[in-house]
Amino acid sequence: MSIHEECGVFGIIAPTPCDVARISYYGLYALQHRGQESAGIVVNDDGVFVSHKDLGLVSEVFSNEILSDLPQSTMAVAHTRYGTTGGTNRNNCQPIEVNHQKGRMALAHNGNLSNSAELRSTLELSGAIFHTTSDTETIAYIITRERLCTASIEDAVSQAMHAFDGAYSLVVMSPQKLICVRDPHGFRPLCYGKTADGTYVVASESCAVKAVGAEVIRDVEPGEILVFTKTGVTSRREHCRKQEPTPCIFEYIYFARPDSIIDGISVHASRVKAGKILAQTHPVQADLVIGAPDSGLDAALGFSQESGIPYGIGLIKNKYIGRTFISPGQGARIDGVKIKLAAVEESIAGKRVVLVDDSIVRGNTMGRVVKLLRDAGAKEVHVRISSPPFLHPCYYGTDIDSEEHLIACKHSVSEICRIIGADSLGYFPIQKLSAITGSRHFCSACFSGDYPTAVPTDTRKDRFEQRLSDKKK
């Protein structure tokens, strides 16, 4: 429950000028679950880029007045961010805009380069000056460098891909083209669709394509480059099948919206399947199954279906708490969990409850939720987790903490059960992960330690946000 989502990217190219900013806004709104720190839209006004970016939720960053001030046009690129590399400040808001000798470029990125530190160091030593602390700027630098010696923006993107390791789903806008690309491993999702009037849209998830009234055509294949122009779309596949596809399994467990389809696989169905496997591997005598909103609800439904234990609503989430929520200080005797979550006492009181959630990171939040249920009258609380224990950090954009902060690295399952105050605890078995999607091709490095790429030697993500006194420690 403490893991932050990824970023969400969106792009649009229309045959005739229209309100591409407003369409992008609705696309970002559908992707809000992937990032709550900042949002931005860049509109291509006949080769002149007009943008608005700021910290906050999509609804906080864009008002009707701001959207109305952005020009009618045929192209736009948009982004909603949760930062995994680079701090939370306005400089790191995306899409990134670049002016170079051959024109302009706007870039939106979802993922994290595992060799970002090495690439940035090389660029800095060659004289490059960075204005952000995000690895997206590193990507922009390398694409721009290649653009100066290639015939087209798509050629530049293709050449730049030889330098990148790790996760990157990109939407790139030039004055005349919209480019999208997915890394050869396919870590992060990316798909595209088309409206009845011939407008193409690109998005991190299919839910955003559908939200703007487009029909999903297909996922972008790992390593594929798609080039959109006014005359249509072309596919470049020179980077396809160079690596074994390893999409992030946690997209299906937690990140993606349940109504999305990723690489032909239903996220909702995957989570229901995970819940059924949990019920098979960790059965329990209980009266009620509840899910931790929102990511635990689908797995809880599957657990209920398989076990025969009734499914109910036991926790209510305050959906109006966003980035601006001020956490209670130590002096205020207020539990932040109780502000964000409320127990339905009528459902829970006197019952043996199974609580299904997607993960346990540090254990602090889960412990408070268990107590919340007990305070509401639960006779027993049995916790079931629809992912294996987190044992390793992620280098591909997921904010999985270092091993020293992961509770499963320090304690056994029985010890974690005692720490969180549950009557029993069961994790999803790692050997059954392939059953969730029906495929053996995925990245589960945060659970297994089996990384698809080289592990970075420099894992510092905050060196430019550290105070001098912190660096001396």
> Which of the residues are catalytic?
7
In sequence order, which residues have a C-beta less than 8 Å from that of residue 232 and are 6 or more positions away?
Answer: none
Residues 130 and 144 sit within 8 Å (Cβ to Cβ): no
In sequence order, which residues have a C-beta less than 8 Å from that of residue 121 and are 6 or more positions away?
Answer: 458
In sequence order, which residues have a C-beta less than 8 Å from that of residue 159 and are 6 or more positions away?
Answer: 146, 150
Q: Is 155 left (phi over 0), alpha (psi -120 to 50) or beta?
A: alpha
In Å, what is the CA distance from 293 to each residue of 61, 296, 311?
Answer: 25, 6, 14
Query: Rounded to whole angstroms, how far apart are CA atoms 11 and 206?
Result: 13
In Å, what is the CA distance from 38 to each residue of 98, 168, 172, 294?
Answer: 19, 18, 19, 21
In sequence order, the β-bridge partners of residue 385 are: 357, 427
In sequence order, the β-bridge partners of residue 169 are: 110, 182
What phi and psi values does residue 343 have, to the nearest 5 degrees?
-90, 140
Query: Rounded to whole angstroms, how far apart are CA atoms 228 and 235?
Result: 9
SS3 65: helix
